[in-house]
Amino acid sequence: MTKYLLISFTLFFFISCGGEASIENSEVDGVVNEKYAAGKEVYDKTCVVCHMADGNGLEGTFPPLAKSDYLLKDPKRALKQVLEGSAEEMSVNGVIYNGIMPAQELTDEEAVNVVNYILNAWGNDGGEVSIKDL
């Protein structure tokens, strides 16, 4: 009997710890998703097919946006790439990409919104761009 109690306490302990960690993460994501709701909407409709829901892309083909050194180094460049497309060799987090991202059919405002979303989603801390940066 004591043995069973001990097992269920241990299980309870593990489950509650795991649960807390994921609530913490989704709280952070939730705040970002709410603040940048307009940008997230564009992302989920337009970018997610290549850059994936977790922003990690597909190594060697679609570069990551989550923790991307290339993106975070020059956020204004991202705005230009979204509106005009990109077809050049680039190194993102140490991996070389030389693909083609077609110009996305978005208004200037949608482009600003989506770039502000990717600059802050998935734990990114990339600040913001504005329509003046175009």
Verify binding: residue 51, ligand HEC, rule CB under 6 A: yes
Amino acid at 18: G
Selection from 69, 73, 79 nearest residue 39 by Cα:
79
Selection from 86, 84, 41, 83 nearest residue 68 by Cα:
86
Selection from 76, 81, 37, 80 nearest residue 63 by Cα:
81
The CB-side HSE value for 54 (13 A sphere, CA atoms) comes to 4
Verify binding: residue 32, ligand HEC, rule CB under 6 A: no
Options 83, 97, 113, 120; binder of ligand HEC; rule CB under 6 A: 97
Interface segment toward ligand HEC; rule CB under 6 A; list 9-17, 25-33, 70-78, 121-129 = 70-78
Interface segment toward ligand HEC; rule CB under 6 A; list 8-16, 17-25, 80-88, 120-128 = 80-88
Interface segment toward ligand HEC; rule CB under 6 A; list 3-11, 16-24, 83-91, 119-127 = 83-91
CA gap 89, 11 in Å, rounded: 50
**Interface ranges with ligand HEC (CB under 6 A):** 42, 46-47, 49-51, 62-65, 68, 70-71, 78, 81-82, 86-88, 90, 92, 97-102, 104, 114, 118
